[in-house]
Amino acid sequence: MIALLEGIVEEISPENSPPAAVLLCNGVGYHLLCSKRTCSHLKVGERLRLFVSSQTRDGELRLYGFFERAERDCFDLLIGVQGVGGKLALVVLSHFDSANLARAILSGDQKSLQGVSGLGTRTAQRLVVELEGKMSKPSIIASLEATAWRADETGEASTASDPLWRDLADALGALGFERSEITRTLETLRRIERPDSLDSALRQALKILRPAISGG
């Protein structure tokens, strides 16, 4: 199976449904279906490398190209969910970048997922249920970590600049929690009132991570 292609961008068709590009590699032009996000990174005549997901349907080989490994890995997870084919997966990835998609799934934000054209309530529920435990691929975690603590579009201060959140992340890491669990918990806590101390923040975090133990 083809997993990676490097060559010259010969054509870009962002208006297609789904968008597509042709990558010329050693004299062979590969037709790649893409998300709008990936297409926005492409420029005709430019040499680059695209991550590829190879899928066979009805005897036809289809190649999907992605600018980032995390986007490719999210695509592979999406098409494993009932009711999500390659075309819908590309629509999802045109709406969300990999970090925001992972964040929506890890936080159970079905409302945001339903904002994707063609993604209904039932499918959004399946995405959360089936993929919550699968968002631990290194590329997706790296994408989450790169963006999780930046200031958001509302101007809210980045958690990276807030000692409370940094100390909480360190404390949870010392307790043995995975980075994906910590990121998910910080995102949940940011949606409610900010704890007034590290001790309070840690108690709240443990109620989320270990409800049976900490719920009292």
Instruction: Give the start-to-end residue ranges of the domains of the chain.
Output: 4-66, 69-134, 149-209
Rounded CA separation 216/197 (Å): 20
Residue-level pLDDT at 211: 62
Number of neighbours of residue 186 by Cβ within 10 angstroms: 19
Residue 45 identity (one-letter amino acid) = G
State which residues of the chain have pLDDT below 50. Answer: 149-158, 160-161, 212-216
Burial classification of residue 133, based on how many CB atoms lie within 10 Å of its CB (0-12 exposed, 13-18 middle, 19 or more buried): exposed
Rounded CA separation 12/14 (Å): 6
CATH (one of 2.40.50.140, 3.30.930.10, 2.40.30.110, 1.10.10.10) for 4-66: 2.40.50.140
Structure tokens at 161: 């600049």
Rounded CA separation 64/87 (Å): 10
Q: Tell me: the pLDDT tens digits for 92-145?
A: 999 999 988 988 898 888 999 999 999 999 999 999 999 988 987 888 877 776
Q: Does domain 149-209 have CATH number 1.10.3470?
A: no
- Full-model pTM: 0.71
The C-alpha torsion from 14 through 17 and 21 to 22, rounded to 10°, is -140
CATH superfamily of 69-134: 5' to 3' exonuclease, C-terminal subdomain (1.10.150.20)
Q: Is 55 helix (H, G, I), strand (E, B) or coil?
A: strand
Residue-level pLDDT at 147: 63
